């Protein structure tokens, strides 16, 4: 008899899982409590996959063998609680895809900051080396869609904590944990430990012979790493000391040590600038080495990588004022790293949906780098409270266009206008991409 599964949520993750489930011969039903985007609805209809939107029919959901839950649906959701009470297994889409990946290898990257850049950089290196690979997960296509539509020998996956929450057997051959800083605490009962546990799950099913790359300089990671029974081989990255194996920086050179071999490269040759990107480049280089990519190819790839859209992306220059789109900075630490890499007076565009932000963490960096702040959100009171005492130039904006105009008024020749919101975007925009696109459009219009 066919195994019955329900897929909760019909975004990229849910529809990807549905396509894979249909291909693998499961008896499936897709249920989304909100509206389904036309592009996804069309795919479900074309593949003859039964679905509902704007509701959840419980009798269709509570009698199945397994539920694939989209990462956006929290554990406290009433329907999720009912499914748990019934004892029905709930898995994430990456777990479902993992079961059908065949002999393919996986490099999986998680972390509070840097995971998207590190994922894209590893993919760039692997593609440059001619490997049959795809980049998927929390970036681009869902893992399940990739497995269903265009299976590869190697998957480079960006993986969020929400995706890791519902894994059972998911096991990357190479796991990377870039760092852990307070983020998404609203989803983890405001308990930092719950979030830390979630991030470390990336390594929980790894075996001897697998690789776990982590940041030795990240205080939280380092403090907790010995609390988990990690079986894989540890490869740390650091800027604070020499290592017998792993990657480290000393005298502006990267040293990569792997099984008795060493590669050296000047950080001036890295296409990605800024201290945080030096960590990303070290992690990516180790991952590439772990899949046997030759050193000259790694070196060349680090020199030719283009930065990502919405991540420290130059958006134009007007009368000597540079505009930078860092809309993907949806937490405090991302914004801290962005400010840290600024070497010109900065007008910071900040704000949106606050996920429990502690703005005090930005105080020193703002005092050092920022001459004006434009608040872009429906409720900016916390930002005014945090910085009003020492940033004299502040303005509120209700749209990207207003924010760009206000920032430009504050700017002098040689300044930078940096959109790095430290918040989610759902108050004024569809998502961070929409926020970044509107920002870039407003700069063009100016």
Retrieve residue 104's tokens: 């393919």
pLDDT tens digits for range 16-28: 999 999 999 999 9
Question: Beta strands 51-53 and 89-92: pairing type?
Answer: unpaired
CA angle at residue 184 from 182 to 188, to 5 degrees?
95
CA–CA gap between residue 344 and residue 333 (Å, rounded): 20
Closest listed residue to residue 37, CA positions, set 22, 49, 53? 53
CA angle at residue 295 from 293 to 297, to 5 degrees?
70
Query: Over the chain, what is the mean pLDDT?
Result: 92
Residue 39: predicted pLDDT: 86
Residue 256: predicted pLDDT: 93
Going from N- to C-terminal start, the domains of the chain cover 4-87, 96-304, 313-445
Side-chain half-sphere of 152: how many Cα atoms within 13 Å?
Answer: 21
| Domain at 4-87, CATH homologous superfamily | NAD(P)-binding Rossmann-like Domain (3.40.50.720)
Retrieve residue 35's tokens: 């509206």
| Domain at 96-304, CATH homologous superfamily | Mur-like, catalytic domain (3.40.1190.10)
* 425 has pLDDT over 90: no
Tell which wins on pLDDT, 67 or 425. 67
Closest listed residue to residue 131, CA positions, set 170, 104, 102, 95? 104
Average pLDDT value for residue range 391-406: 96
Residue 441: predicted pLDDT: 95
CA separation, residue 80 to residues 7, 61, 77, 93 (Å)? 12, 10, 5, 15
CA–CA gap between residue 240 and residue 371 (Å, rounded): 32
CA–CA gap between residue 26 and residue 5 (Å, rounded): 7
Average pLDDT value for residue range 380-387: 94
**Architecture of the domain delimited by 313-445:** Alpha-Beta Complex (3.90)
Residue with tokens 């497995």: 147
pLDDT tens digits for range 170-186: 999 999 999 998 776 77
For residues 286 and 232, is the Cβ–Cβ distance under 8 A? no
Retrieve residue 352's tokens: 């949106």
Put the strands of the sheet holding 51-53 in their side by side order.
Answer: 51-53, 27-32, 4-8, 66-69, 89-92
Most confident of 73-77, 104-108, 119-123: 104-108
CA–CA gap between residue 47 and residue 264 (Å, rounded): 51
| DSSP code per residue over 39-93 | HHHHHHHHTT--EEES---HHHHTTSSEEEE-TTS-TT-HHHHHHHHTT-EEEEH
Torsion angle in degrees (nearest 10) through CA of 364, 368, 374, 375: -10
* 317 has pLDDT over 80: yes
């Amino acid at each position: 008899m066919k195994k019955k599964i329900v897929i909760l949520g019909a975004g990229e993750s849910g529809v990807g899982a549905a396509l894979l489930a249909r291909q693998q011969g499961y008896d499936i039903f897709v249920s989304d409590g909100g509206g389904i985007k036309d592009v996804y609805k069309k795919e479900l209809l074309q593949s003859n996959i039964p679905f509902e939107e704007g509701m959840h029919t419980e009798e269709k959901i509570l009698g199945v063998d397994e539920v694939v839950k989209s990462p956006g649906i929290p554990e406290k959701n009433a329907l999720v609680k009912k499914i748990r009470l019934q004892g029905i297994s709930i898995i994430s889409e990456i777990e479902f895809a993992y079961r059908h990946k065949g002999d393919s290898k996986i490099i999986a990257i998680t972390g509070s900051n840097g995971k998207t850049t590190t994922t894209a950089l590893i993919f760039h290196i692997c593609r440059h080396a001619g490997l049959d690979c795809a980049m998927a997960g929390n970036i681009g296509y869902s893992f399940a869609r990739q497995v269903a539509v265009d299976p590869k020998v190697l998957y480079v996956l960006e993986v969020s904590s929400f995706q890791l929450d519902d894994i059972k057997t998911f096991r990357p051959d190479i796991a990377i944990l870039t760092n852990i800083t307070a983020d998404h605490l609203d989803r983890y009962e405001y308990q930092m430990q719950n979030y830390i546990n979630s991030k470390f799950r990336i390594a929980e099913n790894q075996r001897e012979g697998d690789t776990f790359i982590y940041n030795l300089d990240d205080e939280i990671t380092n403090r907790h790493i010995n609390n988990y029974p990690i079986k894989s081989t540890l490869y740390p990255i650091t800027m604070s000391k020499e290592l017998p194996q792993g990657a480290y920086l000393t005298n502006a050179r990267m040293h990569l040590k792997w099984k008795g071999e060493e590669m050296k490269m000047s950080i001036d040759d890295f296409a990605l600038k800024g201290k945080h990107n030096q960590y990303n480049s070290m992690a990516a280089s180790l991952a590439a080495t772990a899949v046997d990519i030759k050193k000259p190819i790694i070196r060349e790839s680090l020199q030719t990588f283009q930065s990502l859209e919405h991540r420290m992306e130059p958006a134009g220059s007007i009368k000597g004022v540079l505009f930078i789109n860092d809309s993907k900075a949806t937490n405090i630490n991302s914004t801290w790293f962005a400010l840290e890499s600024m070497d010109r007076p900065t007008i910071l565009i900040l704000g949106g949906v606050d996920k429990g932000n502690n703005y005090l963490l930005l105080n020193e960096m703002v005092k050092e780098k920022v001459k004006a702040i434009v608040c872009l959100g429906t409720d900016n009171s916390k930002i005014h409270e945090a910085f009003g005492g020492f940033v004299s130039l502040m303005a509120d904006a209700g749209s990207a266009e207003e924010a760009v105009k206000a920032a430009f008024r504050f700017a002098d020749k040689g300044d930078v206008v940096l959109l790095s919101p430290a918040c989610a975007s759902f108050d004024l925009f569809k998502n961070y991409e929409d926020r970044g696109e509107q920002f870039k459009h407003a700069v063009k219009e100016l």
